[in-house]
A and B are shown apart, each in its own frame.
Chain A
Amino acid sequence: MTVDPQPVEPDPAGPRVGADEWVARQMHRREQLPGWLGEAQRLVGRVGWWPRLAIAALVAAALPALGLGGFQLQVGINALLLALLALGLNVTVGWAGLLDLGYVAFFGFGAYGFALLSSGQLGAAGIHLPAYLSLPIVMVGAAILGLLVGLPSRRLIGDYLAIVTLFFGEAFLEFTTNVAPGTLGGANGIVGIDPIQAFGHQLTSNAGYFYLLLVLLVVTMAALKLLDSSRTGRAWRAVREDPLAAAAMTIPVNRVKLMAFAFGAVIAALAGTVFAAQQISVFPPDFNTAYLILIYAGLILGGAGSISGAVLGGLVVVITLDGFLRSPTEAGYIFYGLILVALLVKLRPWLKLGIVLAVTIGLGFAAHAIAGAISPSAIAGGPQSGGWIASAVRDWVIVPASPKTAGNIGFVVLVCLLIAVVQARGRWRTVLLVPAIYLAACVWEARLAAEPSITRQILIGVILIVMMNSRPQGLLGSRRVEVVT
């Protein structure tokens, strides 16, 4: 759901219909930031959605021109791809409220469909369709598949639908891995896929795919924005909130659900075609549950139900997490930056923030000195980060000579400590926060920074757990007001 730009004027007579109207108004007031931040928020809110979209698109389009290198451009492509996928998932999960755990299979369907239609895989010479033929074919196919997979949603609700779709996704993986290895390539996948081509032009450079994805993303966002405020969009949300009431309001519930599935599937398949063309190859593991969870992490982080939330969540998740894969130093920037930002946002007043930071820094130097005095080997290992972070934290964190075992133990203790921080109330929370931050830094330097790909996966899981427990509406979504019955 998007934030209503015009704040509701409070009714001097007080709430009329019951408690929920009052709750809604309180929520609305709380969503507004205080002071000049609130002014800025209202100012941005006054600009219409399409100028905002256009400005964002122009900024994004300028990025490759500013000299993004090969790695950054690939991260950009991954991020746009995930944003597009999160948008599609938003239709099914965010708007229609149907938990689709087989979503990644539609992405795979698009990729495999494009791969079969534009490579030497089928027949002796292969089929090499131009993009203006293959894309519509794949998308229509995906829509039909989406309708078929959505059919159970007519009878099954909630968890049961989640199971069936999850198994559909798994079955897709098994299918592409095991069935018809001659055509689908089995575990070896399909290689040598044509680039996207039309009218004699070919899209071969990464910059080209970046722009293509950007255009697709902006067009999809605009289309979904219009759809959101249309009859269909309202019907989706009505079905999500209460299917029975929606049916009573003459909304064709089943047809609306199927439409949501088909829309999500088409967007996913579109992303899949671009993915296949850009990668030049597709393999079954590209479409596994881990990727599905990444899409969910993006959507949940941004806020299910909001277009800009889904896109921003997708972008942020990929850019942050792919940053880990670049180098331990860049991962270090992201890690310490995230901690600082979290503290800045969560700790008020400033005095408390200052005390926590000062005590954490002091504790670190003291602990380092004590550990070094007891046994020199306890601080013999150097931090994993490089650059100025390494020199800054060298005498602060404790990294033993054999960091693996100590790091593992530290990791388990850290998880327990973080849970304790969450559970503690009032002053104890602040007290526990200090050792938790320090231990996190130690474990990071000893173990996590050395295993960037595992850390990345762990963080995806943490995003889902933390967001669902602390801010289920996501970073950008507005809190849904529950009507008390």
Chain B
Amino acid sequence: MDFFVQELVNGVTTGALYALVALGFSMVYGVLKLLNFAHGDLYMVGAFVGYFVIQWFGGPSALTIPVPLLLVIMFVLAAGLGGGLGVAIERFAYRPLRDAPRIAPLITAIGISFFLENAALLLFGGQTRVYNTPDFISLSSGISIGPVTIDDVQIMVIVLGAALMVGLQLLVNRTRLGRQMRAVAGDREAAEMLGISVNFTIAATFFLGSALAGVAGVMAGLMFNQVTNVIGFLVGLKAFTAAVVGGIGSIPGAMLGGLLIGVAESFITGYLSSTYTNLVVFGILIAVMLLRPSGLLGRAQLQKV
């Protein structure tokens, strides 16, 4: 039972991470109907930004500024750079293809993902970078309930993840920008006729989604401690699965999907073997796609003629 609860906690933490990345996928899909394959690579960029911030302030064992301030700088910079990169990608690669056949932006997205991955390889090299989180955040402190421990990083990931998701939900449902986003997602042309700046709304959506991916990258660096140029691909696929399982285009769906995938993964690793984790996750995705393509919370789309 203890093992079960511990695995559940680990799963929820990873799930929060996947959910953050999945949110970006889902938002972009909502407004553009585009699967942004490059999204996972923005997560990778965020992780690298966090790493370089730590190095900039003296390295993990000899920090020159207090840890909370460091974390804030890491998250803000990763969000800003990730978001900016996302907006740039949208502006230069996707916008010219907005009215092209559906296959064209998809192939472009694959190209961008490949480009980012290898540009990172060129700039940062292929070696694994290590955050060395235990040097500045004690992993033994935190909450222990009986034999189950939740360390500080996990608490931070869960709390920050939950806060961001609630904030995003409020933004989409309560603010002017959120209303514009929903309008563009519903019908781009009609939204434009009602005086909504479609370009700005899409750019804002890209910024928000990509910033979340950047934040998730820093979280991953703190949690898993390892950063390479290829971490984006697999996490991108998992987040993808999460978004689809929850119902792509739906924000609560992306959160639910992320948590489900994280917990499922954690249980498979804990009770079966880590060998089959990815295979089972991919199996879940294919099954969901075949049985309920609209996902758990998504609405089935009617095809208009």
Report Cα–Cα, A472/B106, bound state, in Å. Answer: 12
- Judged by a CB distance under 8 angstroms, whether A160 is at the interface is yes
B114–A460 touching, CB < 8 Å: yes
- Give B218 Cβ to nearest chain A Cβ, in Å: 21
Please, what's the 1-or-0 string for A415-455, where 1 marks a CB less than 8 Å from any CB in chain B? 10001001100000000000000000000000110010011
* Given known A93-B103, A164-B286, A412-B123, contact A159–B33 (CB-CB < 8 A): yes
- Judged by a CB distance under 8 angstroms, whether A6 is at the interface is no
B100–A472 touching, CB < 8 Å: yes
Which residue in chain A gives the minimum CB-CB distance to B273?
Answer: A178
- Give B248 Cβ to nearest chain A Cβ, in Å: 9
B237–A160 touching, CB < 8 Å: no
Chain B residues within 8 Å of A461, by CB: 111-118
Report Cα–Cα, A468/B241, bound state, in Å. Answer: 26
Please, what's the 1-or-0 string for A95-126, where 1 marks a CB less than 8 Å from any CB in chain B? 00101010000000000000000000000000
Report the interface size class on chain B: 35 or more
Q: Which of A293, A448, A451, A454 has the most CB of B within 10 A?
A: A454
Dominant SS among interface residues on chain B: helix
Report Cα–Cα, A290/B115, bound state, in Å. Answer: 11
Report Cα–Cα, A455/B121, bound state, in Å. Answer: 10
- Judged by a CB distance under 8 angstroms, whether B57 is at the interface is no
Report the interface size class on chain A: 35 or more
A152–B108 touching, CB < 8 Å: no
A289–B111 touching, CB < 8 Å: no
Which residue in chain B gives the minimum CB-CB distance to A175?
Answer: B279
Chain B residues within 8 Å of A468, by CB: 97, 100, 104-105, 107-108, 111
Partner-binding segment picked from A166-174, A225-233, A347-355: A166-174
- Judged by a CB distance under 8 angstroms, whether A60 is at the interface is no
A458–B118 touching, CB < 8 Å: yes
- Judged by a CB distance under 8 angstroms, whether B35 is at the interface is yes
- Judged by a CB distance under 8 angstroms, whether B139 is at the interface is no
- Give A432 Cβ to nearest chain B Cβ, in Å: 14
Partner-binding segment picked from B88-96, B154-162, B187-195, B206-214: B88-96
* Given known A160-B289, A461-B114, contact A170–B93 (CB-CB < 8 A): no
Report Cα–Cα, A297/B111, bound state, in Å. Answer: 9
Report Cα–Cα, A451/B121, bound state, in Å. Answer: 10
A244–B35 touching, CB < 8 Å: no
Chain A residues within 8 Å of B92, by CB: 419, 422-423
- Give B29 Cβ to nearest chain A Cβ, in Å: 8
A178–B276 touching, CB < 8 Å: yes
Report Cα–Cα, A458/B113, bound state, in Å. Answer: 10
Docked complex: B97-150 residues within 8 A CB-CB of A: 97, 100-108, 110-119, 121-123
Contact of A408 among B114, B122, B293 (CB under 8 A): B122
* Given known A163-B240, A461-B118, contact A300–B107 (CB-CB < 8 A): yes
Contact of A164 among B105, B112, B289 (CB under 8 A): B289
Chain A residues within 8 Å of B104, by CB: 468, 472
Chain B residues within 8 Å of A296, by CB: 107, 110
Q: Which of A152, A168, A178 has the most CB of B within 10 A?
A: A178
Q: Which of B105, B107, B282 has the most CB of A within 10 A?
A: B107
Which residue in chain B gives the minimum CB-CB distance to A159?
Answer: B35
* Given known A152-B290, A454-B121, contact A290–B102 (CB-CB < 8 A): no
- Judged by a CB distance under 8 angstroms, whether B153 is at the interface is no
- Judged by a CB distance under 8 angstroms, whether A316 is at the interface is no
- Judged by a CB distance under 8 angstroms, whether B278 is at the interface is yes
Which residue in chain A gives the minimum CB-CB distance to B284?
Answer: A167
Report Cα–Cα, A464/B105, bound state, in Å. Answer: 10
Which residue in chain A gives the minimum CB-CB distance to B243?
Answer: A163
- Judged by a CB distance under 8 angstroms, whether B167 is at the interface is no
Docked complex: B13-51 residues within 8 A CB-CB of A: 29, 33-35
Chain A residues within 8 Å of B114, by CB: 290, 293, 457, 460-461, 464
A458–B286 touching, CB < 8 Å: no
- Judged by a CB distance under 8 angstroms, whether A219 is at the interface is no
Report Cα–Cα, A169/B183, bound state, in Å. Answer: 36
Contact of B283 among A156, A160, A171, A408 (CB under 8 A): A171
A293–B110 touching, CB < 8 Å: yes
B111–A168 touching, CB < 8 Å: no
B244–A411 touching, CB < 8 Å: no
- Judged by a CB distance under 8 angstroms, whether B1 is at the interface is no
A170–B282 touching, CB < 8 Å: yes
B278–A174 touching, CB < 8 Å: yes
Report Cα–Cα, A464/B110, bound state, in Å. Answer: 8
Which residue in chain A gives the minimum CB-CB distance to B29?
Answer: A159
A289–B233 touching, CB < 8 Å: yes
- Give B51 Cβ to nearest chain A Cβ, in Å: 16
- Judged by a CB distance under 8 angstroms, whether B260 is at the interface is no
Q: Which residues of A contact B (CB under 8 A)?
A: 93, 97, 99, 101, 152, 155-156, 158-160, 162-164, 166-168, 170-171, 174-175, 178-179, 244, 289-290, 293, 296-297, 300, 408, 411-412, 415, 419, 422-423, 447-448, 451, 454-455, 457-458, 460-465, 468-469, 472, 480
Q: A160-B289, A465-B115 are in contact. List 11 more A-B contacts (CB 8 A).
A: A152-B289, A296-B107, A296-B110, A457-B114, A458-B115, A461-B115, A462-B115, A463-B111, A465-B108, A469-B97, A472-B100
Q: Which 8 A-B pairs have the closest CB atoms?
A: A464-B111, A461-B115, A461-B114, A457-B118, A465-B111, A468-B108, A171-B282, A458-B118
23 contacts across the A-B interface (CB closer than 8 A): A99-B103, A99-B106, A99-B107, A156-B289, A159-B102, A160-B289, A163-B289, A166-B237, A170-B237, A171-B286, A293-B111, A423-B92, A455-B122, A460-B114, A461-B113, A461-B116, A461-B117, A464-B108, A464-B110, A465-B111, A468-B100, A468-B107, A469-B96
